[in-house]
C-alpha cells in the first residue's frame, strides 16, 4: 500500500506525468516454468498514486478504495487474514484530504485485527 504499483500502458497518468512508476522486479515475476505473466495480486505497491490531485467525485473515492484493496489482497490470498474491508473518504478541516481505512479480519472475530484510518497527501480539487 505504501509504494507505487506500475500503471498499465492504457492508464492516463495524473498531472501529465510520464513515469509509470512501480517496482522493476514486477517485470520479472510470474511463473518461471510457463512464462505466464504476473498475477495482478502478486504485484508490489498500489495504484493509489494515480488518484493524486483529483476532483472530489465518487469515482475517485472508489478508485482509491479499490487501489488499497488490490494492494492488500495478497494477505487474503496467502491466508494471513481471512477478510479485508477498505473504506475511503474525504477528511480534514475542509474535507480536502483523502483517507483510506483498511480493516483486516481473521476468522469469525467481531473486531478486526487491524483497523486504522490512514491520511494521505492526496488532495481534492474543485
pLDDT, one tens digit per residue, over 3-18 is: 889 888 898 888 778 9
d(CA 94, CA 123): 11
* 3 state DSSP class of 65: helix
For the chain, what is the domain count? 1
For residue 34, pLDDT beyond 60 = no
pTM, whole model, 2 decimals? 0.78
In a domain, 37, yes or no: yes
In a domain, 1, yes or no: no
In a domain, 8, yes or no: no
In a domain, 18, yes or no: yes
d(CA 73, CA 63): 15
Above pLDDT 70, what percent of the chain? 79
pLDDT digits (tens, 9 = 90+) for 55-99: 556 688 899 999 999 999 989 999 999 999 999 998 888 888 889
Range of the domain at 121: 14-125
User: Up-side HSE of residue 121: CA atoms within 13 Å toward CB?
Assistant: 3
* 3 state DSSP class of 36: strand
Amino acid at each position: 500500500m505504501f509504494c507505487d504499483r506500475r500503471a498499465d500502458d492504457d492508464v492516463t497518468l495524473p498531472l501529465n506525468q510520464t513515469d509509470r512508476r512501480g517496482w522493476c522486479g514486477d517485470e520479472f515475476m510470474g511463473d518461471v516454468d510457463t512464462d505466464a505473466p504476473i498475477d495482478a495480486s502478486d504485484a508490489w505497491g498500489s495504484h493509489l498514486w494515480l488518484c493524486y490531485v483529483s476532483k472530489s467525485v465518487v469515482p475517485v473515492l472508489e478508485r482509491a478504495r479499490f487501489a488499497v484493496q488490490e494492494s492488500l489482497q495478497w494477505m487474503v490470498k496467502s491466508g494471513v487474514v481471512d477478510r479485508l474491508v477498505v473504506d475511503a473518504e474525504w477528511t480534514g478541516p475542509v474535507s480536502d484530504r483523502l483517507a483510506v481505512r483498511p480493516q483486516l479480519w481473521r476468522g469469525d472475530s467481531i473486531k478486526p485485527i487491524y483497523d486504522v484510518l490512514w491520511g494521505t497527501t492526496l488532495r481534492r480539487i474543485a
